[in-house]
Structure 1
């Protein structure tokens, strides 16, 4: 399915670079741009001094709402001067349900764009990724600083581990994959049994993609003591990939936070544009 609506989220301390990046992607594929401005509300005061600090907290919230209004005004002006079709909304949620608020908005887009500014914003970035991946069922595109942003890449690397998450990512990216000149299926230390990759690792997914007109090749890679994320990034560099397509959070988010994982590593250091789905 083609991407017809792209969502991007911007915060109070952001500039307009992520917005321009998202608008450029919309121009590239003739899509509509949806922008959500988010200011996360300051937590309420507590403890024995609550009665004393409460007025300060209320003043802080009023200032935050003014910031939201000003940021929305700046974004609105920019969108009015843009050639792309666009809409704008704003939210002032409490921190505890910010990801759900963002997820609801992401349900009405085909793809959420996470550019360099948002990637550098720890709290809002985490809320956008959690909301998009867990509350909307839609994919996200990570575009780190210095990476080329395109939804029409010539060379794509698919990180394949035969998981439902990887399958969803491939399905979401079918239009991209079928238009690419080269798609490489990368498997790290694949297990050849019926519960994992089958008798011939990569054969089934290659056949599936070939039926969609994808020009596909299969790469079975040893980890050789390196992390899966490092092997993927290096192979993307070696093959000249412009985009990595992968499933996200095959393990629980708690396990990823405690023990690390491929998703966490790729989010913290993508290296190039990464399309993730869950």
Structure 2
């Protein structure tokens, strides 16, 4: 005998959002942004705290000798982890207090994060993290990045010093006719549909035969058929880094979201992100929506 369950869904939107949190002021602002996005799309919010293991806080205690001493150290480590989790939960709860959004809080140890992220990302529409937080992933970061790549869940990466207000009013898609950029369109469609201004930006079209005779016009037409008012911009780098061209355009047009497709040729940090994406992560003062 088999069992069968049926779920009735609606058109693609954001309905489950994960935000990586801690007890810092930057995290509280990131949680506020996550709340704003969840309210916009009617989504459920999951705050996730990644707790460093206790020994990472007091490395010298790793050399404890004797059963009693080892047990005492373990108890102190557990207490440190519990205190850190409690601090993160209080900060998260403070950030969303009095807000009309459904939410929950989950905690995971840093050394368990790889499997945790894969499992939870599979069941979320978006993961929100800080740029500095993401760049500071632990030493086994390539394995973590592989989880994002294999899950296919889009990530919204917010600079810690972002002061531009709510995200997604003025949006840019960096278009190079790649598979990754096409996947980014699908992931970002909820933001495209609610944006007040939407730019498609092509850089150095003459060097990319996949863009066709009218670079960017086909993807602009695709988006317009979804009811999105699109402005097409063809730019020339004149030898500058493409990432810098995109950032200059974002600044000149007061954009609050850059949408890109990240490359996944290798599971090393440099190749996973690709040159343009890595530079954007290092230098962007504008939030990035990336699909791996």
TM-score by length of 2: 0.77
- The Cα offsets for residues 68-127 of structure 1, whole Å up to 9 and x where unpaired, read as 442355257535654321011111141xx52332232222221111246735x7126968
2:222 corresponds to which of 181, 205, 208:
208
- The Cα offsets for residues 184-243 of structure 1, whole Å up to 9 and x where unpaired, read as 2111112353xx212322122122112111212222211112111100000112223221
2:15 corresponds to which of 4, 16, 26:
4
Task: Measure the CA separation in 1 of the matches of 2:147 and 2:103.
Answer: 19
CA drift at 1:16: 2.8
Gaps of 5+ in 2: 1-11, 57-61
Gaps of 5+ in 1: none
How many corresponding residue pairs? 270
User: 2:106 corresponds to which residue?
Assistant: 89
Q: CA RMSD in A?
A: 3.5
DSSP 3-state at the match of 2:149: helix
CA drift at 1:61: 3.5
- Would the aligned equivalents of 1:18 and 1:118 in 2 still touch at CA under 8 Å? no
Task: Measure the CA separation in 2 of the matches of 1:224 and 1:275.
Answer: 26
Matched, 1:37 2:37: no
Matches within 5 A, 1:162-201: 162-190=177-205, 191-193=207-209, 196-201=210-215
DSSP 3-state at the match of 1:123: coil
- The Cα offsets for residues 233-258 of structure 1, whole Å up to 9 and x where unpaired, read as 00112223221111112543537269
Higher mean C-alpha displacement, 167-176 vs 57-66:
57-66
User: 1:232 corresponds to which residue?
Assistant: 246
**1:149–1:31 CA distance, 2 compared to 1 (3 A):** farther
User: 2:5 corresponds to which residue?
Assistant: none
**1:235–1:74 CA distance, 2 compared to 1 (3 A):** same
User: 1:143 corresponds to which residue?
Assistant: 158
- Would the aligned equivalents of 1:102 and 1:128 in 2 still touch at CA under 8 Å? no
Task: Measure the CA separation in 1 of the matches of 2:192 and 2:232.
Answer: 14
TM-score by length of 1: 0.80
